[in-house]
Amino acid sequence: MSEVQVHAAGQRPSAAAAGEGCGRLLRVRVPAEAICWHRFFGALQLALIGLLFLTGVLMALAYTPVPGTAYDSVDYFQFSLPFGDVVRGVHHYAWNLLLVVMGLHLLRALVVGAYKAPRQPVWVSGVLFLLVIPLFIITGDLLPWDQKGYWSTQVRFSIIASVPLVGDFLVQLLRGGPLTGIVALTRCYVLHILLLPGVLLLLIGLHMYFLATRGLSGPPAGEAAARPQVPFLPTIANRWLAVFLASAIGLGLAARLWTAPLGDPADPTDSSFIPRPEWWVLALNQLVAIFKGPFMVIGSAIIPGALIFLLAALPFLDRSPERRPSKRRGVLLGAAVVLAAWAVLSVMGYVEHFVQPEP
Amino acid sequence: MPKRWQVALFLGVLMGFTGLFIFSNGAVGAAKQTLTAVYSKTAPAGLDDPAWGKVKALEVPFEGKEKFAGKKAAVSAKAVYTDSEIVFWFNWKDPTLSVTKEAWKFDGQNWARQKGDEDRISLLFEINRIQNFATKGCAVVCHVPAGAPNAKEGKFGTATEAEKGDLWHWKAARSDPAGYADDGYLTKIGDTKGGRKPDAGKGGDKPNITDDKTKPKYMLAPGKKLGKHNILLAADAVEISDYTIFKAGDVITYRMPVAAEGSFGDIKAVSRYGDGAWTVMLSRKLNTGNEDDVAFDPRKKYNFAMALFDDSKDYDSYDSEVLSLEFKK
């Protein structure tokens, strides 16, 4: 359609393009099982990320990234502003749940062989989420400027500093000085609200693009019959909205019933504070405890790095088109062994840090 | 996938995961004694209310300071809260009942103030965050090390206007007989004055002394009764017109408790001394609406510290470490 024709129809070119885009979106049809009762981890993951963005923006409106004042601003937001406890609670519970859902999403894809050709890029981009989401948690940890965030950050800095050659430089880059203060807080804040969200949006875009171009995985036994299709708009969009609303309500209720924790204000002079690992790093922490001294790198980097590498490389290692779990016992047995080891390490870590009395 | 991409992917993932681990060493917290206020529909009516039997006591250790240095004490503490009120229960051993507070004694010729102070317990909460109070407690406001901005000999307070504490001060001789604990607050220490201030309203005690400072000015008014531990309340006192009525050995209160009004009297007190121990119950609205009081929100945790005074003045005390108060429904 030429510009003259568009104007003749009373429309600007951009409006016409937008209209065409909407029209194309309305015509998009996807398998009905894209979001359904037995397949919703991806949708839930996206809903949780959406909730984290929304609640994060609301909290940022009241947040002051200055040591001391940061704590007061979080305290004020949570306990003095209407629904502040709900907003912060949703943010807190959403990231915890996101880690679980992310793991389940990946596990499901692994079990049904969804990583196989032609969906390898979908799988690899999904594995990359495993690296980015924890960085959000880690940078967000320092923001309330409470004892937990401050001292766990100190521990992380000391571990980074022990890395040969680049350790001190990296610490300097993150901390911006000899002490963890306003510069470190500002850098974590910028990473948390600006740079990492950018990376995450890029990853989500990539994941969706690969999903759209490589297709949704079908039944493991193969495509015996044509899969029922539904329009993306409004059917799938509405289903996702339902997931979003259900998670928002569920997490909102949880936040109201169980107030999100806010520890004591950070006291950099209180070296008696004992950092203990959170639930999601108990296994990793235990790995480091096993490999001590010069061998620490085995537990801290080589084993976890190798596992992530294996996970990312899985589609290229297991090239057979077979997707039925019963025919892929080797891969599933390997995954089960890793999961069992992970669970055992987590339990060991839990017992060591939470059950045994402090020395 | 080309080999170089595989290597790049491996290195990227390895670095990423190393970073993941490095940053993921979370922390949960260090040990700190927590007093849990248990929810109840109605507040305990008194010291022996059966409700107290259902609440687990927290045994709080105290370390002696100044003249008590090297000595130890302990307080059993319980707390209950309702929709509108919080109630604390404290019990501690004290072999001597001390309520003298320099009371006048007549020897048949002259009046003299007796030696002897009173037993007390005090609690300090944060109204606005006091720098490092959460970890160091009274050490940052009461027993301040030399060189600190609020270090002034013989006085205590906070370092800045923004930091403010709520001071609950139960006094066996000067507040308890009138049924309350002094409600004060702690603010920035001045050049000449301490940062300890009384809440708005009336209360405290009135000195019972003549202008020439040789004898008591007031006695029990006719038809009135002495308060707990034979202490003369200011409201029940009348000016002495005839000093010949007194005989040797007569004792008259020197610091007469004044009935509290306004924010000063927010904290109601009930107590008993028996079997060599004090049992004290303090109650207050969760939120008094007064700026000089901490407003308790059951969703939050509060830091507080306590001090015991055994027949002693301000600096001669037994102090607790900082404690945490939480609410459980």
Question: Which tens digit of pLDDT belongs to each residue from B162-212?
Answer: 999 999 999 999 999 999 999 999 998 887 778 889 999 999 999 999 999
Q: Work out the angle between the directed axes of helices A41-60 and A237-257 (0-180°, nearest 10).
A: 60
**ipTM of this model?**
0.79
Asked if residue A250 and residue A175 are part of one domain, the reply reads yes
Question: Which tens digit of pLDDT belongs to each residue from B94-149?
Answer: 999 999 999 999 999 999 999 999 999 999 999 999 999 999 888 888 766 666 66
**CA atoms in the 13 A half-sphere facing the CB of B93:** 8
Q: How far is CA A14 from CA A19, A28, A100, A354, in A?
A: 8, 21, 42, 60
Q: What percent of chain B has pLDDT over 90?
A: 78
**DSSP per position, B101-138:** TT-EEE-SS-EEEPS----EEEEEEEEEPPTTHHHHGG
A-chain CB neighbours of B159 within 8 Å are none
Asked if residue A130 and residue A55 are part of one domain, the reply reads yes
The total domain count for chain B is 1
Q: For chain B, how many helices (H) and strands (E)?
A: 3, 20
**Average pLDDT over chain B, rounded to an integer:** 89
> Is B16 a domain residue?
no
- When mean pLDDT is compared across A107-111, A245-249, A288-292, B316-320, the lowest value belongs to A288-292
Q: Are A256 and A86 in contact (CB under 8 A)?
A: yes
> Is A8 a domain residue?
no
Q: How far is CA A202 from CA A132, A302, B10, in A?
A: 11, 28, 20
For the segment A23-28, the average pLDDT, to the nearest whole number, is 81
Residue-level pLDDT at A28: 83
> Is A15 a domain residue?
no
Nearest residue, CB atoms, B14 vs list A149, A280, A309:
A309
Question: Which tens digit of pLDDT belongs to each residue from B221-277?
Answer: 999 999 999 999 999 999 999 999 999 999 999 999 999 999 999 999 999 999 999
- Taking an 8 Å cut-off on Cβ atoms, the answer to whether B136 and A267 are in contact is yes
> What sign has the CA pseudo-torsion B183, B188, B193, B194?
positive
Asked if residue A335 and residue A241 are part of one domain, the reply reads no
Rounded distance, CA B306 to CA B165, Å? 13
Place of tokens 């950092």: A275
Question: Residue A84 — φ and ψ, nearest 5°?
Answer: -60, -40
Choose, out of B4, B24, B32, the residue to mutate when testing the contact with A (most A CBs < 10 Å).
B24
Other Cβ atoms within 10 Å of A91 Cβ, number:
21
pLDDT of A275 higher than 90: no
Domain of residue A326 covers: 276-359
* Listed residues A241, A271, A301: the one ending a domain: A271
User: Nearest CA to B162 among A173, A344, A200, A72?
Assistant: A72
**pLDDT band at residue A1 under the 50/70/90 scheme:** very low
Q: How far is CA B24 from CA A137, A148, B19, B182, in A?
A: 8, 12, 8, 47
- What residues of chain B have any CB closer than 8 angstroms to a CB in chain A? 1, 6, 9-10, 13-32, 129, 131-132, 134-136, 297, 299-301, 303, 324
> Is A5 a domain residue?
no
Q: Which residue of A has its CA nearest to B25?
A: A277
pLDDT of B159 higher than 90: no
The total domain count for chain A is 2
Residue-level pLDDT at B28: 46
> Is A18 a domain residue?
no
- Taking an 8 Å cut-off on Cβ atoms, the answer to whether A135 and B20 are in contact is yes
CA distance A186 to chain B (A): 17
**Average pLDDT over chain A, rounded to an integer:** 88
C-alpha angle with apex B194: B189 to B195, nearest 5 degrees?
55
CA distance A212 to chain B (A): 21
- Taking an 8 Å cut-off on Cβ atoms, the answer to whether B28 and A278 are in contact is yes
Other Cβ atoms within 10 Å of A48 Cβ, number:
27
More confident residue, B23 or B176: B176
Residue-level pLDDT at B13: 47
pLDDT of B150 higher than 80: no
Question: Which tens digit of pLDDT belongs to each residue from A63-74?
Answer: 999 998 999 999
More confident residue, A162 or B23: A162
Other Cβ atoms within 10 Å of A202 Cβ, number:
13
Residue-level pLDDT at B16: 47
> DSSP 3-state assignment of B146?
coil
CA distance A153 to chain B (A): 7
Asked if residue A233 and residue A321 are part of one domain, the reply reads no
Residue-level pLDDT at B26: 42
Q: Which residue of B has its CA nearest to A275?
A: B27
> Is B208 a domain residue?
yes
> Is A9 a domain residue?
no
> Is A16 a domain residue?
no
> Is A2 a domain residue?
no
Nearest residue, CB atoms, A316 vs list B1, B299, B300:
B1
> Is A33 a domain residue?
yes
Q: How far is CA A27 from CA A21, A36, B240, B257, in A?
A: 10, 20, 101, 84
- Taking an 8 Å cut-off on Cβ atoms, the answer to whether A72 and B13 are in contact is no
CATH of the domain at B198: 2.60.40.1190
Q: Which residue of A has its CA nearest to B16?
A: A131
**pLDDT band at residue A356 under the 50/70/90 scheme:** low
Asked if residue A335 and residue A211 are part of one domain, the reply reads no
CATH of the domain at A201: 1.20.810.10
Q: Which residue of A has its CA nearest to B324?
A: A264
- Taking an 8 Å cut-off on Cβ atoms, the answer to whether A281 and B26 are in contact is yes
> DSSP 3-state assignment of B281?
strand
Residue-level pLDDT at B27: 42
> DSSP 3-state assignment of A270?
coil
Respond yes or no on whether the N-terminal peptide bond of residue A219 is cis (omega within 30° of 0).
Answer: no
pLDDT of B292 higher than 50: yes
Q: For chain A, how many helices (H) and strands (E)?
A: 15, 2
> Is B91 a domain residue?
yes
> Is B259 a domain residue?
yes
> Is B6 a domain residue?
no
**pLDDT band at residue A6 under the 50/70/90 scheme:** very low
Domain of residue B118 covers: 34-328
pLDDT of A3 higher than 50: no
Helix, strand, coil: what percent of chain B each, to 5? 15, 35, 50
Asked if residue A182 and residue A282 are part of one domain, the reply reads no
Rounded distance, CA B70 to CA B63, Å? 7
Asked if residue A194 and residue A138 are part of one domain, the reply reads yes
Question: Which tens digit of pLDDT belongs to each residue from A322-339?
Answer: 999 999 999 999 999 999
B-chain CB neighbours of A139 within 8 Å are 23
Choose, out of A92, A148, A264, A345, the residue to mutate when testing the contact with B (most B CBs < 10 Å).
A264
Residue-level pLDDT at B106: 96
